[in-house]
Chain A
């Protein structure tokens, strides 16, 4: 079965325009994404590791850490407590108010084993933060994120049309052929086809999960307005709590409710991840998949008793599973290195695609000047 010239032309049109529109942004994402693959390693290298602690060190209560963090930032509210995945660290986040933007949060970091406060840079500083923001939203917030999502959809269109066009290009060539000595255009065309077809699945997965990640904020808001509000509904007409139960006890109550899971994020009443009456407690399991799937529990902030716990709905789980598949951070350092190599290959595919388009334009202009020939499918076998 061979494609008609007309079909080839249509797919070429899709490939050309979907690529042209997204290529510069995709190059930016591939370049900024490269160091972000290793952000954990880079952060760990830049920050002092929590050293050994005395044998008789006693782990502090979360209540005491929160009290200390609050005393250090008296004008602010304590909004969240985060447990680190890899190191015995507890991060207490305060902000001017409960609905503050992420960049307005101030983080105080404590050693979970002895309560010693560690001097750590704030996350919203430094080169890695600039790369991060360029990568996720071009410093443009939600609109920037959604814009990159649309660019991701164009990338998917470019990949699919590229795979379709691979067939007519390869009818007379063996897999992996890179024609040498017949001009740089043919060499780069073959390289573009080879590297493109080989990285297809990886780039499709990273592109598609990237698109899902750009929907993170709307997904969060839908969940907060729907499921989270439902979970808190039993308290809707009660007066707001005036005294607060122990955080440690609330965490213990939530962990008892879902055996095998441990707390990772604690949200205070008033934040979008809790309710006005509840502590929001987010738990994770310990396998590569379950460590990504947060399970929410609401604990009555006055009594410290569990109010509700339920699994996340499918659309939130989809977001959670999309994260590791986009970041490549779920199989140790070797997987990250492979991720980086595939990313580098993608940069070559994007760059060579752009080069081929520029070259073809040049050639077409030349051809029109000299003999007015039709060059639409001139390189096709």
Chain B
């Protein structure tokens, strides 16, 4: 995902957060627009955001050297 090395530019720093923000806007909006599939899209988008968090947490635990 990251090709460059630190220090990261502003656009690199905010690339993932921006995608997540758009997902959240979509997720919050979809269920408001309609029922049925719109609800499913909404759940999917917000669940994806939570999965990104879960993945980051899991990855950091794996990498972690003790001490």
| Partner-B contacts on A (CB < 8 A) | 1, 166-167, 170-181, 190, 194-195, 197-198, 200-202, 205, 287-289, 321, 324-325, 330-332, 334-335, 338, 341-342, 345, 381
A197: chain B residues at CB < 8 Å are 17, 20
Known: A205-B28, A325-B28. A171 touches B53 (CB 8 A): no
A175: chain B residues at CB < 8 Å are 1-2, 13, 15-17, 56
Mask, B1-37, CB within 8 Å of A = 1, is 1100011111001111100110011011011111100
Q: Bound state CA distance, A324 and B39, in angstroms?
A: 13
B42: chain A residues at CB < 8 Å are 331, 335
Known: A171-B7, A172-B7, A331-B39. A181 touches B65 (CB 8 A): yes
A201: chain B residues at CB < 8 Å are 20-21, 24-25, 28
27 contacts between A and B (CB under 8 A): A166-B14, A171-B8, A174-B2, A175-B15, A175-B16, A178-B56, A178-B57, A180-B64, A181-B65, A190-B60, A200-B24, A201-B20, A202-B24, A205-B24, A205-B28, A288-B31, A288-B34, A288-B35, A288-B38, A289-B32, A331-B39, A331-B43, A332-B43, A338-B27, A338-B46, A341-B50, A342-B46
B33: chain A residues at CB < 8 Å are 288-289
Known: A175-B16, A288-B34. A332 touches B7 (CB 8 A): no
Known: A288-B34, A334-B39, A345-B53. A172 touches B25 (CB 8 A): no
B65 → chain A, closest Cβ, in Å?
Answer: 6
B24: chain A residues at CB < 8 Å are 200-202, 205
Known: A176-B55, A195-B53. A200 touches B34 (CB 8 A): no
- Report yes or no: A198 in contact with B17, Cβ–Cβ below 8 A: yes
Q: Bound state CA distance, A1 and B14, in angstroms?
A: 13
Closest A residue by C-beta to B30 = A331
B17: chain A residues at CB < 8 Å are 166, 175, 197-198, 200
B15 → chain A, closest Cβ, in Å?
Answer: 8
Closest A residue by C-beta to B42 = A331
B63: chain A residues at CB < 8 Å are 180
The 4 A-B pairs with the shortest beta carbon distances in the complex, nearest first, are: A176-B56, A180-B64, A331-B31, A178-B60
- Report yes or no: A335 in contact with B43, Cβ–Cβ below 8 A: yes
Contact of A172 among B8, B9, B21, B32 (CB under 8 A): B8
Please give 19 more A-B residue pairs, beta carbons under 8 A apart, in addition to A179-B60, A288-B32, A338-B27.
Answer: A1-B9, A167-B14, A171-B7, A175-B16, A177-B56, A180-B60, A181-B66, A198-B20, A200-B24, A201-B25, A289-B33, A321-B32, A330-B32, A331-B39, A331-B43, A334-B39, A335-B46, A338-B46, A345-B53
- Report yes or no: B53 in contact with A181, Cβ–Cβ below 8 A: no
Q: Bound state CA distance, A174 and B3, in angstroms?
A: 11
B56: chain A residues at CB < 8 Å are 175-178, 194
Closest A residue by C-beta to B52 = A198
Q: Bound state CA distance, A376 and B29, in angstroms?
A: 40
- Report yes or no: B49 in contact with A167, Cβ–Cβ below 8 A: no
A381: chain B residues at CB < 8 Å are 7
B28: chain A residues at CB < 8 Å are 201-202, 205, 325
A171: chain B residues at CB < 8 Å are 6-8, 13
Q: Bound state CA distance, A334 and B27, in angstroms?
A: 12
Q: Bound state CA distance, A288 and B27, in angstroms?
A: 14
Closest B residue by C-beta to A329 = B31
A177: chain B residues at CB < 8 Å are 56, 60
B62 → chain A, closest Cβ, in Å?
Answer: 10
A327 → chain B, closest Cβ, in Å?
Answer: 12
Q: Bound state CA distance, A363 and B32, in angstroms?
A: 47
- The CB with the most chain B CB atoms within 10 A, among A195, A202, A345, is that of A202
Q: Bound state CA distance, A331 and B30, in angstroms?
A: 9
